[in-house]
Amino acid sequence: MTEQNRRDGDRQHRLDQPRDRRRGWRPRSDFDTERFGRFAESFARFMGTATFLAGMTVFIAVWLVWNSPLGPEGLQWDPYPFIFLTLILSLQASYAAPLILLAQNRQEARDRVQQQQDRDADAQSHADMEFLAREVASLRLGLGEVATRDFLRSELRGLVEALDPSEEGERRDKSGKPKKDKRDRPTPPAGGPTDD
């Protein structure tokens, strides 16, 4: 008794599993639909090529010439109405149409999946762009409250002047030496000579 038969036997006696109600007249098919779909796509792709059209044209031309009065008289198998050729072409069309439709259906399913993936990617990029726009806006708002270099310099100058011990502060020239103002000169005594 193989492992598969033992499992099937156990499954028949279990109450928590549904019974297999398939009848014995229809065997379980292990048909690979993907392989058949790939075959249909390759067949449809081949039928749309110039090679197929040229080959079919040569085949029909040889058939017509062979079975016409120009061909060998004793070896013609399909005389003028060419009924057998019509039957062959009808059979080819009857098999080609469903295979082409199957290939188109598979392509349509692939396109649908691709479109859904594109929609998902677009939605994700849109969400990412909105997030980045909010982040840039928050950075702009944050930078509005950040002290700039010029602001810090002016504040430090104000602090230096406020901490200077003299009332008006010493003014310094570019060389760093204190610059005296006319107001800083001592006033001459009354009645004495003046420095003009």
In a domain, 116, yes or no: yes
Span 132-159, average pLDDT: 85
pLDDT higher for 127 or 172? 127
12, 15, 20, 95, 107 from 6: Cα distances, Å: 10, 16, 15, 43, 42
In a domain, 181, yes or no: no
The span from the CA of 63 to the CA of 71, in Å, is 9
3-state secondary structure of 19: coil
Query: For residue 196, what pLDDT band results from cuts at 50, 70 and 90?
Result: very low
For position 2, what pLDDT does the model report?
61
pTM of the model: 0.47
Question: Does residue 15 sit within a domain?
Answer: no
Strands (E) across the chain are located at: 171-172, 178-179
Residue 146 has pLDDT above 80, yes or no: no
pLDDT in tens, 70-98: 877 777 888 888 898 999 999 999 989 99
| Number of independent structural domains in the chain | 1
In a domain, 158, yes or no: no
Residue 132 lies in a domain: no
Cα–Cα nearest to 69, from 80, 84, 85: 80
User: What is the residue-averaged pLDDT of the chain?
Assistant: 78
The answer as to whether 177 is a domain residue is no
Residue span of the structural domain in which 46 resides: 32-124
Neighbours of 94 (CB within 10 A): 9
Q: For residue 178, how many C-alpha atoms fall within 13 Å in the half-sphere facing its CB?
A: 8
- pLDDT of the residue at 169: 47
- Region 58-63: mean pLDDT is 92
Is the pLDDT score of 194 beyond 60?
A: no
Amino acid found at 4 = Q
Report yes or no on 27 lying in a domain. no
**Mapping DSSP to helix (H, G, I), strand (E, B) and coil, where does residue 171 land?**
strand
